[in-house]
Structure 1
């Protein structure tokens, strides 16, 4: 009995692991940084920094820090024992100029917010005292829609995701729900401005008498701007695919989320399955890319096909016959995008649509869905269906993802 009491006393004297200790995760087969970051609600860059990773390749059994030790109490704590206040997130620049006769109440009604919101965003304002010419921060509230992503919302308002996170404390960059309200401070200068027609210059040789009889000259239409990529995001490494060229692996946040989400599902279902090669997306700033007519705006992706006998290697880019296509697995990948409405078009060889169509029917696709998704069994020249024939696509699949909603600059 005395020994038991002594052991209990020793155990109580030992330090107990609390929330201040680091939390770790043992890597399992099929895990990747994207999956682990979403599971523990952290950023991929934080995982790399906490674990001093030189690459994104993981191996089963590896221990990763997913939550570091809590930082010690800062030195500037108050003497009464209460901790110092946490640093406030960065505030945006003032974006509204007070006019003559304006008041907080009038400004709030004009921008469909409350006076309390204005005081919260402009804490330097005391009471209702504002003066003409003073600049205020005025935000707006955005209701999250179905299929929205943080990247799409940020791009459509001319801001970046980090700014959305700083303006909405406690917001999870990976989990937003329809109907959720976000505070946004628009940045109109970052949006694409419509082209302005150049002024018409008349010839000096025309006399005033002749000019009066001439009809007014029509302005010359400017050349349309080529698509480009704004706020491009580089595709990270993944257990489900290999990247051929890093410089050609940039896309919109919506494209990257749709791509990694589909491969997350594939790796979860086939942890020991073969990988694919991601061939090309876009350049860091978009624009023309050698060897492609598209791939300019971060919405186009080329990937190889799932093939029989690839094993655990990445399936190579080579022209396929219909019998070589692993139609069952290929359909699981493509149906992920189709059922979520992510893909605008998918270009592949017409002959490869035949086994894919059969796999879709076997998987339970309805007649209406098959008609909406497939060009087959219509003729090759009929431009209907999301999955369509395109020349020189026997060795790879070309997916064009939809534009983010409310992003008018996306083409």
Structure 2
């Protein structure tokens, strides 16, 4: 913790995101989404500086839906702090909590933002617009933080809950600092407080360290998935991490994405040293299936790209591993043709010797966009 203290306020947090609201048949029909499994009406209390797009991103809905559900003016949809909005969503993170931070000598906006894992622009421009840029010791800042949430244990490939990591062999993890934040979309975004994936030769090697910058959320889940895969599969071969993003994000040639620190290229593991990931016969498909499942089991992977002709070998490996049909259909697009929206692993041309893994936005990344 940097110099300074934070004081929890004895004020009510915004209305719980898990608090359901009654929905009439008309509401459900107008929304067109209430019939989806697990979709629930909740209410969201707007925090200072929050915008309609931030709320839409938080609950993975569209701004048009928010406007319609709350009868806002489509031409000028004004919202105000303290007001509640109705939201129909399957993704309802707990409400942010308000803290007061007392500035101490040596503090800077960026240091305080990093210490609390928030976007420095939100901290200075939206939550504390009346505080001068060159603040002084003793001033109070308002910070809205994500509450700590205990994550469920990930499900294993057979659909059973994985054993607690602490009860197994310790994982060779390098600490990932918080504060590196993804902004925008993978094809039109950037990184704030960019963090480089640390070297960890027990788990992987970096092909291009200057292209290995990512969000804290992405790097943390990536390293954890690889560590669990190494431990559980016993795979000892090389694993090479390719492009993620450059420092600060933005355009990274020749990629059309890899701009916001959430895309990771991983070379396919091979059976023997000296093998080529380009050659189907050299790829260790059983090891790759285990890696894919370790990534999926984090619950934070949006999509994995791999060409269809490679996916059929991954399907064979899944069956050898004893994966049930429900798991296979959840994970693989194959044997469906490209264009079908089923499966986490999907066809994308050019992805023959590596998988392209796209991670979700973190709850605190309010300006991160999923698509």
With the shorter chain as reference, the TM-score category is 0.5 to 0.7
Q: Secondary structure at the match of 1:380?
A: coil
CA contact (8 A) 1:249 1:280 kept: yes
Q: Report the CA distance shift for 1:320/1:121 in structure 2 as closer, same or farther (over 3 A).
A: same
What root-mean-square deviation, in Å, do the aligned CA atoms of Structure 1 and Structure 2 show? Answer: 3.9
For the pair 1:240 / 2:203, whether they are aligned, the reply is: yes
Tell me how far apart the structure 2 counterparts of residues 298 and 138 of structure 1 sit (CA, whole Å): 27
Tell me how far apart the structure 2 counterparts of residues 332 and 191 of structure 1 sit (CA, whole Å): 27
The match for 1:143 among 147, 166, 178 is 147
The match for 2:311 among 345, 353, 362 is 353
Which protein shows a greater Rg? 1
Tell me how far 1:288 sits from its aligned partner: 0.4
CA contact (8 A) 1:282 1:297 kept: yes
Q: Report the CA distance shift for 1:228/1:324 in structure 2 as closer, same or farther (over 3 A).
A: same
Q: Report the CA distance shift for 1:386/1:146 in structure 2 as closer, same or farther (over 3 A).
A: farther
CA contact (8 A) 2:214 2:260 kept: yes
The match for 2:3 among 90, 97, 116 is 90
Residue of structure 2 equivalent to 1:319:
278
Q: Report the CA distance shift for 1:141/1:308 in structure 2 as closer, same or farther (over 3 A).
A: closer
CA contact (8 A) 1:108 1:118 kept: no
Residue of structure 2 equivalent to 1:288:
251
CA contact (8 A) 1:302 1:398 kept: yes
Q: Secondary structure at the match of 1:375?
A: coil
For 1:185-224, what aligned pairs fall within 5 Å after superposition?
A: none
Higher strand content, 1 or 2: 2
Tell me how far apart the structure 2 counterparts of residues 338 and 305 of structure 1 sit (CA, whole Å): 16
Residue of structure 2 equivalent to 1:264:
227
Residue of structure 1 equivalent to 2:269:
306
Q: Report the CA distance shift for 1:265/1:136 in structure 2 as closer, same or farther (over 3 A).
A: closer
Residues 85-128 of structure 1: CA deviation (Å, up to 9, x unaligned): xxx9611699xxxxxxxxxxxx854779xxxx9999699xxxxx
- TM-score computed with the length of structure 1 as normaliser: 0.47
For 1:397-408, what aligned pairs fall within 5 Å after superposition?
A: 397-408=355-366
- TM-score computed with the length of structure 2 as normaliser: 0.52
Tell me how far 1:237 sits from its aligned partner: 1.5
Tell me how far 1:379 sits from its aligned partner: 1.6
Tell me how far apart the structure 1 counterparts of residues 226 and 337 of structure 2 sit (CA, whole Å): 31
CA contact (8 A) 2:5 2:101 kept: no
Q: Secondary structure at the match of 2:242?
A: strand
Residue of structure 2 equivalent to 1:68:
none
Q: Report the CA distance shift for 1:122/1:369 in structure 2 as closer, same or farther (over 3 A).
A: same
CA contact (8 A) 1:282 1:295 kept: yes
Residue of structure 2 equivalent to 1:277:
240
Q: Report the CA distance shift for 1:332/1:346 in structure 2 as closer, same or farther (over 3 A).
A: same
CA contact (8 A) 1:235 1:249 kept: yes
Tell me how far 1:271 sits from its aligned partner: 5.9
Q: Report the CA distance shift for 1:147/1:289 in structure 2 as closer, same or farther (over 3 A).
A: farther
The match for 1:230 among 192, 205, 221 is 192
Tell me how far apart the structure 2 counterparts of residues 352 and 119 of structure 1 sit (CA, whole Å): 52
Q: Report the CA distance shift for 1:373/1:403 in structure 2 as closer, same or farther (over 3 A).
A: same
CA contact (8 A) 1:228 1:287 kept: yes
CA contact (8 A) 1:258 1:342 kept: yes
Q: Report the CA distance shift for 1:308/1:253 in structure 2 as closer, same or farther (over 3 A).
A: same
Tell me how far 1:191 sits from its aligned partner: 11
Tell me how far apart the structure 1 counterparts of residues 315 and 259 of structure 2 sit (CA, whole Å): 30
Unaligned regions of 5+ residues in structure 1, if any? 1-87, 95-106, 124-132, 149-172, 176-189, 195-224
Tell me how far 1:400 sits from its aligned partner: 0.6
- Residues matched between the structures, number: 226
Bigger relative CO (Cα 8 Å, ≥ 6 apart): 2
Q: Report the CA distance shift for 1:237/1:89 in structure 2 as closer, same or farther (over 3 A).
A: closer
Of 378-387 and 226-235, deviating more is: 378-387
Q: Secondary structure at the match of 1:263?
A: helix
